[in-house]
Amino acid sequence: MIKSAAIIKDKALAPWKELRLQKKRTKKQATLERRATKVHRPSPIGYIKEVLDIELNELTREEMLQQSDKIGLVVNKHWSNATLLKHINDAMGI
> Mean pLDDT over residues 59-64, rounded?
86
Q: Which of 25-29, 41-45, 75-79, 82-86 has the lowest mean pLDDT?
A: 41-45
| Position 34 pLDDT exceeds 90 | yes
Spatial separation of the C-alpha atoms in residues 40 and 93, rounded to whole Å? 53
One-letter identity of residue 48: I
Spatial separation of the C-alpha atoms in residues 31 and 49, rounded to whole Å? 30
Spatial separation of the C-alpha atoms in residues 85 and 18, rounded to whole Å? 62
User: Structure pTM?
Assistant: 0.39
Output the pLDDT for position 2: 56
Output the pLDDT for position 19: 95
| Position 51 pLDDT exceeds 70 | no
User: Domain coordinates of the chain in residue numbers?
Assistant: 59-92
